[in-house]
Amino acid sequence: MKAKFYWARWRNLFLEKLRDPLRILRLRTELAVQVPSAVQVLHGCHNLLPPARTQLITYSCAKQHRRASARKGELRAVHIYLSCQRLRSAPYPMDPLYVGNWPERCGLFARSASVSLHYELRGNEDAANKALLVMGACATRRHFEQLADTLASAGVEVLSYDHRGIGRSKSTGALERRASQTSEVLAADALALLDHVWPSSPPGSCLHVYGASMGGMVAQRLALLLLARPHARLPLRSVTLSVTARCYGRARFVPLGAGFYRAVLPLALPKTADKLVETLLPKCFGADFLAAPHPTESSGATMGELWRRRWVAEFDDWWSLRNVECTAAQATVAGRHFTTSAELATLRECGVPILVSIAEKDELIAPHAQKELARLLGARTLVSTGGHMGSVAEFGELRRAVAAHMLAAGGG
């Protein structure tokens, strides 16, 4: 009877948290019941999620007496941490049904009085190979969940984060919001975050940097900063640059500032999430990807339909495009970035293995610019026939190739 009582008491909470089965969940419930009864509640939660596997990561029992029954002292609080994870390994590209593992650790790094960076860590903290994932423009760390889980399962500790003003990171000062950001500024943010998260590492530890799209531009700057610190505690061992270039188009000849984008973006961008998603999907994915049916979805829904539903429902958790200030700042970073020939030569001759991932049907960053970057860096290339975010057939292979590149460079 006691288990039924507490299940009824918490049922509405579970239903509210789980009404969107695509979200990653971590529920911490305190139930004044014995452990067997708490496990029954866990199994009841499992029944709510037939397409997912509910894992009991850990629970701890401690005698915590309520004030009203402090003298009795027999009730125990059971802390249950739940993680929802798909039964399949999800080898598909940016799978719209993928539910990632909850990060082992997360935090908020105070970069300055008005800037703080939200970060997440996955994988074994004692791992020798450490990887930093640098996200592209106007996007949050959520896009990296599948890659981060792949790297963590390969034995790499993975650090992902949101740029200043994006996602859960904060940028509250007028100067930070309105000043034109650059790839140098964001690279300095990433370097400070590295020093904060990994101030000391086990002997033999090394760092791998992965940057996608605008994040690849920031990763180029970050690699140069890391190479300038040859005696760093965490030496750079590999760089992976995905769907990026030395500059964005011909923007180096027209250095537009954040003020220009703040004026133009409200006129150019749709106002609602569903309209924004309709604009984003064909830019991020190729037509073949959007029209392809999902391999495990019983309804026969296409990848485009599933991504549309997810992004509309969780838009602000994936994108910052409804925040004009942040979008203008990020557009400035991509528009003003340019890696000089001398800087490219430094990266090419430093001895650090570089992998460049190229998308042949990319509509956001020209494929010829991606190929030019790989040529100037003398880098190994990984070519996808899909759009900016990959293709159905190749994305699982790309993730595994990135993991192999890091482990080979780090001696793992």
Residue 192, class by beta-carbon neighbours within 10 Å (0-12 exposed, 13-18 middle, 19+ buried)?
A: middle
Confidence of residue 175 (pLDDT cuts 50, 70, 90): low
Instruction: For 1-10, give one letter per residue: b (16+ CB within 10 A) or e.
Output: eebeebbeeb
Q: Which residues pair with 161 in a beta bridge?
A: 119
pLDDT tens-place string over residues 81-133:
222 232 223 334 578 888 878 898 999 999 988 899 999 999 999 999 999 99
pLDDT tens-place string over residues 185-216:
999 999 999 999 999 878 889 999 999 999 99
Report the sign of the C-alpha dihedral through residues 20, 26, 32, 37, in that order. positive
With 50 as the cut, is the pLDDT of residue 280 above it?
yes
With 50 as the cut, is the pLDDT of residue 298 above it?
yes
Q: Which of 61-70, 224-233, 371-380 has the lowest mean pLDDT?
A: 61-70
Predicted pLDDT at 203: 82
* Token digits of residue 240: 């992976």
State the Cα–Cα distance between residues 362 and 243, nearest whole angstrom: 8
With 80 as the cut, is the pLDDT of residue 28 above it?
no
pLDDT tens-place string over residues 141-172:
999 999 999 999 999 999 999 999 999 998 87
In the chain, where the domains are located? 2-86, 105-410
Predicted pLDDT at 256: 72
155 and 183 in contact (C-beta within 8 Å)? no
Confidence of residue 75 (pLDDT cuts 50, 70, 90): very low
| Range among 16-25, 63-72, 280-289, 335-344 rated most confident | 335-344
State the Cα–Cα distance between residues 301 and 318, nearest whole angstrom: 21
pTM score, whole prediction: 0.77
CATH number of 105-410: 3.40.50.1820
Predicted pLDDT at 20: 40
Predicted pLDDT at 317: 94
Rounded to an integer, the average pLDDT of 384-393 is 79
Task: Please state, rounded to an integer, the average pLDDT across all residues of the chain.
Answer: 77
* Token digits of residue 409: 């460079």
